[in-house]
């Protein structure tokens, strides 16, 4: 079984990463991209053994895991392409103006890597947000070595992927120490990594408690470092009156499927549904309850997540004025009742919701709370009181949108992705995606964890003043040998100077 890495092992891994950093940061964008494509190839070559191992460790179905592996390969390949394209470098050049008073020197700025990045993956994405997931791909593209702390819920899966990264590093001539895989159940392992002097940034995907703890450790270091923690969210869905009147049955089916997708184990799971008291809302709650009753309870990722879900669900249902609407009526035929997540819908009035902060918290699993507001004003008050979210959704007609401008403004202010007439589950990997949000959805709302812009988390700006062309990095040379897009004297261009 996997044991906790010792302080001595952690120190040598961090020293090796620091050594590797000074070599890897000088590697070209093409070399970094080649390494990332090689990782993608090695993961693909792991074949069915990788899928079977992940199925055993996570209880996730085969089709989901195959899809997630394909997504992980796509992430590596698309971030590699973005790495080579170089837009993320934000190259800016202002050439010298000797006749200006005072004279302007030649100044050229680009983004440079921070240093070794420690990555903590989530249990619910054993590939896409784990060992070779988005954080690892972003850090390698940025020019940073990576130390992965394997998630204890899927250590063997993590080990296979780590071996694939190591093979890719060897085949593409990467420096020793470019990647390391650390195991450990104890939180001390994570703490030792984050507080090590050579750790320069952290990527985390997981619970609020975990992300906040890591962020606190990082900020209390003698040299504080950034932690990019993507944490839980309740992803509120606002049901506006005209849309609900037109489409309550369809929305109920759509939302029920989103709540129960993957046994509710998505950070974008819609855990809060907010409507205004009406016949349409009653009919929606009835239809949603019926759909939930007919959903088979699935087995959760591991016993710890199943226990946490059962406890948090019970705690939420015990709160004053919270009423159970429906739970699944279908028995779990896998004989695994201890590990199943029972699909559940509850309801509460708007005033109670505003008074009780516990009802604003994520219940990670197939659970959602319908908040019944007395009127439009109460819905606005609820929206203004909500914490930061990864996503927020309006189910609305055009007339609803025109009649609820203040609500839309309030909701826009709390989320990273603002959805109209859709569901929050399903996160496209593309440049325009924002996966992050105001605290506590993430620790830094200026960045996101999905799409190649995620590379920008692990870099810092560096300006070169008065350097001769031959000694500048390729990215900033007059001839623009990499043909990247740069802002030269305030004009965006791919041309030479
Ligand atoms: P988790 O329990 O927080 O675990 C994530 C990682 O952090 C694990 O390696 C874990 O190690 C470590 N960790 C947790 N607490 C720690 C602490 N106090 N000190 C040191 N290390 C700590 O999260 P999970 O159960 O894997 O995932 C479920 C949660 O992740 C949900 O809340 C979900 O919403 C969220 N999530 C967010 C996103 C997003 O993109 N925003 C994506 C997926 C999931 P140990 O296992 O040893 O504790």
Kindly give, in sequence order, each residue whose CB lies less than 8 Å from that of residue 489, ignoring residues fewer than 6 positions away. 93, 94, 95
> Does the C-beta of 362 come closer than 6 Å to ligand 1?
yes
Q: CB of 416 within 8 A of CB of 261?
A: no
Determine the pLDDT at residue 214: 98
Superfamily of domain 7-231+446-491 in CATH is: Aldehyde Dehydrogenase; Chain A, domain 1 (3.40.605.10)
Summarised one tens digit per residue, pLDDT across range 427-437 is: 999 999 999 99
Alpha helical stretches, state H, 172-240: 187-194, 208-219
Closest ligand 1 atom, CA of 427?
40
Helix (H) or strand (E) holding 70: helix 62-85
Closest ligand 1 atom, CA of 269?
34
In whole angstroms, give the CA distance from residue 224 to residue 310.
37
Determine the pLDDT at residue 5: 85
Determine the pLDDT at residue 277: 98
Asked if pLDDT for residue 334 goes beyond 70, the answer is no
In whole angstroms, give the CA distance from residue 424 to residue 31.
36
Return the residue whose CA atom lies nearest to atom 47 of ligand 1.
Answer: 185
In whole angstroms, give the CA distance from residue 482 to residue 30.
10
Catalytic residue among 68, 84, 230, 475: 230
> Does the C-beta of 353 come closer than 6 Å to ligand 1?
no
Summarised one tens digit per residue, pLDDT across range 26-49 is: 999 999 999 999 999 999 999 999
In the chain, domain spans? 7-231+446-491, 237-420
Asked if pLDDT for residue 325 goes beyond 70, the answer is yes
Burial class (CB in 10 A: 0-12, 13-18, 19+), 98: exposed
C-alpha Rg value of the chain to the nearest Å: 24
> Does the C-beta of 431 come closer than 6 Å to ligand 1?
no
CATH architecture of 237-420: 3-Layer(aba) Sandwich (3.40)
Catalytic residue among 83, 199, 267, 373: 267
In whole angstroms, give the CA distance from residue 297 to residue 330.
7
The residue whose CB lies within 8 Å of the most ligand 1 atoms, and thus the one to mutate among 129, 130, 206, 303, is 206
In whole angstroms, give the CA distance from residue 65 to residue 114.
32
Asked if pLDDT for residue 497 goes beyond 80, the answer is yes
Mean pLDDT of 364-391: 98
**Known catalytic membership, residue 144:** no
Summarised one tens digit per residue, pLDDT across range 196-242 is: 999 999 999 999 999 999 999 999 999 999 999 999 999 999 999 99
332 falls in which pLDDT band (50, 70, 90)?
A: low
200-231 per-residue burial string, b: 16 or more CB within 10 A, e: under 16: bbbbbbbbbebbbbbbebbeeeeeebbbbbbb
């Amino acid at each position: 079984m996997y044991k906790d890495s010792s302080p001595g092992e952690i120190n040598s891994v961090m020293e090796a990463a620091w050594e590797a950093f000074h070599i890897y940061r000088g590697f070209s964008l093409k070399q970094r991209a080649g390494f990332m494509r090689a990782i993608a190839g090695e993961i693909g070559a792991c074949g069915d053994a990788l899928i079977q191992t992940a199925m055993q460790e996570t209880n996730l179905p085969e089709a989901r895991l195959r899809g997630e592996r394909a997504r992980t390969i796509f992430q590596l390949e698309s971030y590699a392409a973005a790495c080579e394209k170089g837009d993320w470098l934000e190259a800016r050049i202002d050439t010298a103006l000797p006749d200006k008073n005072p004279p302007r020197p030649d100044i050229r700025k680009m983004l440079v890597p921070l240093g070794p990045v420690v990555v903590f993956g989530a249990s619910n994405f054993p590939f896409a947000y784990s060992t070779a997931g988005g954080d690892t791909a972003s850090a390698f593209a940025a020019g940073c070595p990576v130390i992965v702390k394997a998630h204890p819920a899927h250590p063997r899966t993590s080990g296979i992927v780590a071996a694939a990264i190591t093979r890719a590093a060897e085949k593409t001539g990467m420096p020793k120490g470019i990647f390391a895989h650390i195991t450990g159940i104890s939180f001390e392992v994570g703490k030792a990594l984050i507080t090590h002097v050579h750790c320069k940034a952290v990527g985390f995907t997981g619970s609020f408690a975990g992300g906040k703890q890591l962020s606190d450790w990082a900020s209390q270091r003698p040299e504080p470092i950034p932690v990019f923690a993507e944490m839980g969210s309740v992803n509120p869905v606002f049901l506006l009156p005209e849309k609900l009147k037109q489409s309550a049955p369809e929305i109920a089916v759509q939302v029920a499927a989103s709540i129960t997708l993957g046994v509710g184990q998505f950070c974008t799971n819609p855990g809060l549904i907010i409507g205004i008291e009406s016949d349409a809302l009653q009919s929606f709650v009835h239809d949603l309850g019926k759909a939930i009753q007919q959903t088979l309870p699935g087995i959760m990722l591991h016993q710890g997540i199943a226990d946490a879900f059962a406890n948090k669900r019970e705690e939420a249902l015990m709160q004053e004025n919270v009423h159970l609407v429906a739970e699944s009526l279908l028995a779990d035929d896998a004989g695994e009742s201890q590990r199943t997540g029972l699909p559940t819908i509850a309801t509460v009035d708007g005033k109670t919701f505003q008074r009780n902060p516990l009802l604003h918290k994520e219940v990670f699993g197939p659970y959602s709370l319908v908040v019944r507001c007395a009127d439009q004003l109460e819905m606005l008050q609820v929206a203004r009181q909500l914490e930061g979210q990864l996503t927020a959704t309006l189910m609305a007609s055009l007339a609803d949108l025109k009649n609820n401008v203040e609500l839309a403004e309030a909701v826009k202010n709390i989320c990273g992705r603002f959805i109209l007439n859709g569901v929050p589950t399903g996160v496209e990997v593309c440049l325009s995606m924002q996966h992050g949000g105001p605290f506590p959805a993430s620790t830094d709302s200026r960045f996101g964890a999905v799409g190649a812009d995620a590379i920008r988390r692990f870099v810092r700006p560096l300006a070169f003043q008065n350097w001769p062309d031959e000694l500048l990095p390729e990215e900033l040379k007059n001839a623009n040998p990499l043909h990247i897009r740069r802002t030269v004297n305030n004009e965006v261009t791919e041309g030479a100077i």
